[in-house]
């Protein structure tokens, strides 16, 4: 079974997708982490972000491994190296949407995502997992939340990380607005709700309530 969970940043996708995967013993595929890993590779290799052909080549050569930990966390290996923390750094967050909007990059990454999921029960999470990666997924969800609430959640996440406590709410808001715009207006696979996806507004919901709501649909 394929469960696809899409939505904008801060809607609760990662937390929810991870917990549903753990509960159901499904493989968890964080597609955003994959675009982030590619962005890290591009930046570390000093590739000019305007040189799309070089970026696409980097995507073709990439070796990404996603390892779900017993703790519920996710270990991301890029070319064998643990980059789980590095890919969450603001320098990556700032740049990832511009890398992810490149058509050739998406072709390569979508193929990789399908390969990772082949023959398995999976929970995939991202922006286009229910529209493009697995349009025939058995269960599709679109998680959303008010902009202010999404900013609040992301800001809280930063404040809890030892080296990012000084990140300001205004900067988080500017980043989210920028990514929302790029992710939903790009030509290839823009963020949008699949017609057959169940829409869940998580603004006023606890994590437990969202999980129960999704499980009700999955098991129903």
Footprint of ligand DC on this chain (CB under 6 A)?
9, 31-33, 35-36, 96-97, 100, 126-129, 179, 183
Report in angstroms how near the CB of residue 31 gets to ligand DC at its nearest: 4
Report in angstroms how near the CB of residue 220 gets to ligand DC at its nearest: 26
Contact 42, 49 (CB under 8 A): yes
Nearer Cβ to ligand DC (57/94)? 94
Nearer Cβ to ligand DC (140/179)? 179
Report in angstroms how near the CB of residue 76 gets to ligand DC at its nearest: 10
Nearer Cβ to ligand DC (86/220)? 86
SS3 (DSSP) at 198: strand
Report in angstroms how near the CB of residue 78 gets to ligand DC at its nearest: 14
Report in angstroms how near the CB of residue 154 gets to ligand DC at its nearest: 9
Nearer Cβ to ligand DC (112/216)? 112
Helix (H) / strand (E) element for 177: namely helix 169-185
Nearer Cβ to ligand DC (104/219)? 104
Q: Return the C-alpha torsion angle 209, 156, 92, 192, nearest 10.
A: 30
Residue 166: both structure tokens together: 């000084």
* Locus of tokens 């989210």: 176
Residue 46: both structure tokens together: 């000093």
Residue 201: both structure tokens together: 């507004």
- C-alpha–C-alpha distance, residues 182 and 102, integer Å: 11
- C-alpha–C-alpha distance, residues 175 and 180, integer Å: 8
């Amino acid at each position: 079974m394929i469960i696809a969970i899409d939505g904008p940043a801060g809607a609760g996708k990662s937390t929810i997708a991870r917990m549903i995967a753990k509960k159901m013993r499904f493989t968890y595929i964080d597609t955003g982490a994959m675009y982030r890993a590619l962005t890290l590779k591009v930046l570390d290799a000093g590739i000019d972000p305007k040189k799309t052909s070089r970026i696409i080549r980097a995507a073709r050569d990439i070796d990404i491994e996603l390892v779900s930990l017993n703790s519920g966390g996710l270990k991301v290996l890029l070319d064998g190296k643990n980059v789980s923390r590095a890919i969450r750094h603001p320098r990556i967050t700032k740049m990832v949407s511009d890398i992810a909007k490149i058509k050739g990059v998406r072709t390569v990454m979508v193929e990789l995502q399908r390969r990772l999921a082949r023959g398995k029960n999976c929970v995939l999470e991202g922006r286009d997992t229910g529209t493009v990666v697995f349009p025939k997924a058995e269960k599709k969800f679109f998680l959303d939340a008010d902009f202010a609430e999404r900013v609040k959640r992301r800001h809280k996440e930063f404040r809890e990380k030892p080296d990012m406590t000084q990140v300001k709410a205004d900067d988080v808001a500017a980043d989210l607005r920028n990514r929302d715009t790029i992710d939903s207006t790009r030509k290839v696979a823009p963020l949008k709700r699949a017609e057959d996806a169940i829409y869940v507004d998580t603004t006023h919901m606890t994590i437990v309530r969202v999980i129960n709501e999704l499980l009700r649909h999955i098991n129903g």
